[in-house]
Amino acid sequence: MLFLGYTIPCMNQNTKGRGRPKKGSAERKSTSVLLRMEPREKEGFESAAGLAGVPLAIWMRERMRAAAVAEFRKAGKDNPFVD
């Protein structure tokens, strides 16, 4: 009983949270796209992302952005991704 009496008050103290600080609203991604694919396609994309050393979502976003930029250049349009 002495053990519980000692640990519970320590657990209720207002201490700083652990882990990474939350992102501000300007830094968060706010929309998503559902993309259906064959399981083998996803496996291939995951393998490629692993080779690049990044998570699948980042790998896909980078590749899709690069493909879109190439399409805009080909069409002579402005690049909407320039910040």
Reply yes or no on whether the pLDDT at 66 is more than 60: yes
Q: Tell which residue, 61, 70, 63, has the closest CA to residue 29.
A: 61
- Counts for the chain of helices (H) and strands (E), in that order: 3, 0
pLDDT in tens, 1-15: 555 555 555 555 566
pLDDT for 60 beyond 90:
yes
Domain coordinates in residue numbering, the chain: 38-75
pTM: 0.63
pLDDT > 70 in the chain, percent:
72
Ramachandran angles phi, psi of 22, nearest 5°? -65, 145
- Given this model, what pLDDT does residue 22 score? 77
